[in-house]
Structure 1
Amino acid sequence: MGTLNAANTMINAAEGGFHAPSMSEFFPAPFLFEGTPFEMNRVMLIRLIATVAVVLVLAVWAKRMKLVPGRFQSSMELAMEFVTVGIAEDTMGKERAKKFMPLIVAIFFGILFWNVTKLIPFLNMPGTGVIGLPLVITLAVYVTYHWAGIAQKGLGRYLKDALILPGVPPAMHILLIPIEFITKFVTQPFTLAIRLFANMMVGHLLLVLCFSATSFFLFDASNGFQFFSILTFAGGMFVFLLEMLVVVLQAYIFALLACVYINSAVSEEH
C-alpha cells in the first residue's frame, strides 16, 4: 500500500504538481519591441535594473563622500580598496594599474550586481546567466589586453612574445606556435566567458529545483511526503548561502583574470 501511495505521488508530480527547471527560463518571451534589435524580455529587464542600481550606488557614494565616513561610505571604500589594491595593483603594479583601473572597477561591480540579482526576490535570475552578457564583457577584456600589448610592443614583437616560447628548440615551434595561438587567442576568452555563464546558470537551476520541490512537497504531496519539504528547503537554503559566495567569487575571478591577461600582454618578460 505504501508503495502504491508513493507511486501515486510521483504520478501526480509528473502530471503537473512539480515542474523541474529548464533552459527555457533563461529565454522568456519578449514584452517590448518584439522582433527588433531592442527586444526586451525579463532577463534584459533584470540586466537593466542591475546596471541602473550599480551606477546609482557608485554615484551616491561619490557624491556624498565625507571626511568622517558613515557606514555606507566605509563599506564602499573597503569594496573599492579591495578592487583597486587587492586585485588591480597587486596583479599589475600601482603605475600600470592606474591606466586600466576604470575597466577593472566596472567589470567587478558590474558582474557583482548582475550576479546578485539571482538572490533578490521577484528578480530571481542572474543577468549573467545567458551567454550574451558574459561574451560582451569578455570581448571588452579581449580587445583591451591585445590592444594594450600591441600599443606597448608593436604588432610583430607582441605576436613573437605571445607565440614563441624562449629556450625551446626551433623544431618544437612547429608544434608549440599553434598551441600558443589557440591558448592566447581562443581558449583564454572562451573560458573566461563560459566560467561566469556556467556558474550563474547552474546556481540558478539548483535554487529553482530546491524551492520548486519544497513547494510541491509542502502543498501538493500527500501521505507523509510533506516531510521531504524540510529536506529540500534546507538544501535550497544551503545552495542560497553558497551562491552568496559564488556571486562575489565570480566577479573577483573575472576581474583578477582580466588583470592577469592585461599584465601578461604588456609585460616585458615573456
Structure 2
Amino acid sequence: MNVAGSTIAAEGFGAPGPANFQYPELFSVGGVDVTKPMVQLVLAAALISAFLIIAARGRSLVPGRLQFAGEGAYGFVRNSVGRDIIGSHDFQRFVPYLVALFFFVLVNNLFASIPFIQFPTFSRASMAYALAGLSWIVYNAVGIHKHGLLGYLKLQCVPSGVGPAMLPLLVPLEFFSNILVRPATLALRLFANMFAGHLLLILFATGGLYLISDYGGAIGYVSGAAAWILAIAISFLEMLVQFLQAYVFVLLNAMYIQGALADEH
C-alpha cells in the first residue's frame, strides 16, 4: 500500500490525501516519464492477453480449469451484458470490445488488492478519463455509422413526442446530457470509487500504526488493532467494489451502444 506522503509523526497524525496517489517517474522513454500506474496499464494488458491465449489453447469438449474460467467470464459478459442490453441482433460484434474492457478494468482495479502493487490504476483521474474517452468515441461512432451525423444528433438531442415550443429548451439539455456529460460521469464513477476505497485503506492502516507506535498505552494498542482489523475487512469489501465497478463500467458502455443503435430516443 502506498503510504508516501502520509506523515506519522510524534506531534500528531498526518491524514492521507491526494499526495498518496502521486508517484515519481520510474524511468523515461523517448522523453516521456513512465510512472507506476502507466506500467500497470501495460501489465494488465499483458496479463489479460496471456490468460485468454492460454485459456483458449488446447480447447476441449470437457474444459479444464483455466478454459472453464475463461469461458465463464466470456459468457458472463457476452450474455448478461452484451446480449441482454444491446439485443440479440447487434450484440455479437461488440462482444470482443466489451470482454476486453471488462477484463481490463477489473484487473487494474484488482491491482489495489495484490501485494507489492496495492494501487488501483483508475484512482488516477487521467487514466479513468482516458478510458471513458475511448468509450465515448466507440458509442458515438456506432451511432453515426448507423444513422449518419445529422440523424444521430437528431436521435440523441430531439426527444420524440415533444412540442416545438419546448425544443429550444430541451435540445441543448439533451445534447449536454447525452453527448458531453456521459464520458465525464462514466470516468468520475470509476475514479471516485477507486480513489475513496484506497484512501480509506491507507487511513486505517497508517492510523493503526500511529495509534500503536506513537499514541501507545492500552487505548492506543486496542484502537490500533481494531483499525487494522477494519482495514482487513475493508480490503475484502473493496474486492467486491472492484468487481462491481468493472461490471458497471461495461454495463453502461453496452447501454450507450444500445442507445446509439436505437431508432428512437
TM above 0.5, yes or no, is yes
After TM superposition, list the pairs within 5 Å mapping 1:1-270 onto structure 2.
14-15=9-10, 18-33=13-28, 36-37=31-32, 39-224=33-218, 225-270=220-265
CA contact (8 A) 2:205 2:227 kept: yes
CA contact (8 A) 1:26 1:43 kept: no
Deviations along 1:148-194, one digit per CA (max 9) or x if unpaired, are 11111111211111111111111100110110010011111110011
Q: Tell me how many residue pairs correspond in the alignment.
A: 258
Give how far 1:25 is off. Answer: 2.3
AA aligned to 1:30 is E
Give how far 1:102 is off. Answer: 1.4
Residue 3 of structure 1 corresponds to: none
In 2, the alpha carbon distance for the partners of 1:65 and 1:217 equals 54
Dislocated runs of 4+, deviation >3 Å: 12-19, 218-221
Residue 7 of structure 1 corresponds to: none
Structure 2 portions without partners, runs of 5+: 1-6
Helix, strand or coil at the partner of 1:94: coil
Give how far 1:34 is off. Answer: 7.7
CA contact (8 A) 2:132 2:186 kept: yes
In 1, the alpha carbon distance for the partners of 2:43 and 2:154 equals 44
AA aligned to 1:59 is I
TM-score by length of 1: 0.90
Helix, strand or coil at the partner of 2:90: helix
Residue 5 of structure 1 corresponds to: none
In 2, the alpha carbon distance for the partners of 1:201 and 1:64 equals 40
Give how far 1:209 is off. Answer: 0.9
AA aligned to 1:191 is T
Give how far 1:244 is off. Answer: 0.8
AA aligned to 1:23 is P
Deviations along 1:117-168, one digit per CA (max 9) or x if unpaired, are 0001111101111112212211111111111111111112111111111111
Q: Tell me whether 153-162 or 212-221 shows the greater mean CA deviation.
A: 212-221
Deviations along 1:14-59, one digit per CA (max 9) or x if unpaired, are 437754322122221112018923x112222233222221121111
In 1, the alpha carbon distance for the partners of 2:206 and 2:58 equals 42
In 2, the alpha carbon distance for the partners of 1:206 and 1:57 equals 31
Helix, strand or coil at the partner of 2:235: helix
Change (3 A) 1:111 1:16: farther
CA contact (8 A) 1:107 1:137 kept: no
Change (3 A) 1:64 1:214: farther
In 2, the alpha carbon distance for the partners of 1:16 and 1:90 equals 57
Structure 1 portions without partners, runs of 5+: 1-11
Considering only aligned residues, what root-mean-square deviation do their CA atoms show, in Å?
Answer: 1.9
AA aligned to 1:252 is Y
Deviations along 1:90-125, one digit per CA (max 9) or x if unpaired, are 101123111111111111000000100000111110
Q: Tell me whether 190-199 or 95-104 shows the greater mean CA deviation.
A: 95-104
Give how far 1:242 is off. Answer: 1.1
Q: Percent identity?
A: 34
TM-score by length of 2: 0.91
